[in-house]
Amino acid sequence: MYKLQHFLKLACLSLLLCLSACSDLNDKFINTDLTGLDYAKDFALTDHNGKARSLADFKGKAVVIFFGYTQCPDVCPTTMAEMASVMKLLGNDAEKVQVLFVTVDPERDTQALLSAYVPTFDPRFLGLSGDQAATVKVAKEFKVYYQKAAGKTADSYTMDHTAGSYVFDPQGRIRLFLKHGQGAEPIAHDLKILLK
């Protein structure tokens, strides 16, 4: 009888340890953890509705910031479509997430163009822009690379730019870097952790 009780206690303890380990695995970020880094603290830009915005405007929400441009042929639309899929996967938690698209092409990306482009992926998404000086400043603060690449005509240029996105927790702290093209599930997984 004693041996059976001892065996059952050990079995229960093993089961609890296994469940605890599984829980820990589910609470680990899939994307690059930037917790504690000392950059990407804020921005001063204007949204596609004409409202001045900073990171503090979105306190209480997880914020995903992507730098791109509306005439981008591949990375930008696929990233925005991926984020729209993430919002669907999050269900009701999507209301606690703000996706921001920051243009690195203020020369062509007018407020009207951003307001026509960004919300087509999800009406909750916001496009942000600034003049050339503000764009340089925010790119430097976020350590984002961008550079104009000449096209066949003066206005047919493309923009080379960083393809990943940054994620901030609801307290406004930088937490993650999302690599481009990984699919919606890993991003939704990490956002759920931040929203706990």
161 marked as binding residue: yes
Half-sphere exposure of 153 (CA within 13 A, CB side): 2
Residue 2 lies in a domain: no
Query: Looking at the 3D structure of the chain, how many domains does it have?
Result: 1
Structure confidence at residue 3 (pLDDT): 52
* pLDDT, tens only, 112-163: 999 999 999 999 999 999 999 999 999 999 999 999 999 888 888 999 999 9
Residue 12 located in a structural domain: no
pLDDT on residue 153: 87
Stated pTM of the model: 0.85
What are the phi and psi torsion angles at 145 (to 5°)? Answer: -90, 140
Examine residue 73 and state whether it is found in any structural domain, yes or no.
yes
Enclosing domain of residue 74: 32-149+156-195
Residue 18 lies in a domain: no
Q: What is the CATH number of the domain that holds 75?
A: 3.40.30.10
163 with 34: CB under 8 angstroms? Answer: no
* DSSP output for 97-162: EEEEEEES-TTT--HHHHHHHGGGT-TT-EEEE--HHHHHHHHHHTT--EEEE--SSTT--EEEE-
pLDDT lower than 70: segments of the chain: 1-26
- Residue at 4 is within a domain: no
- Count the Cβ atoms, other than its own, within 10 Å of residue 159: 20
Residue 163 domain-assigned?
A: yes
User: In this structure, is residue 5 part of a structural domain?
Assistant: no
Q: What is the pLDDT of residue 155?
A: 82
72 is in an annotated binding site: yes
pLDDT at 44: 97
What local confidence, expressed as pLDDT, does residue 27 receive? 83
Exposed / middle / buried, residue 127 (Cβ in 10 Å: 0-12, 13-18, 19+):
buried
Q: Is residue 189 annotated as involved in ligand binding?
A: no
Q: What is the pLDDT of residue 5?
A: 53
In a domain, 26, yes or no: no
Coil/strand/helix, residue 169: coil
For residue 156, the model assigns a pLDDT of 85
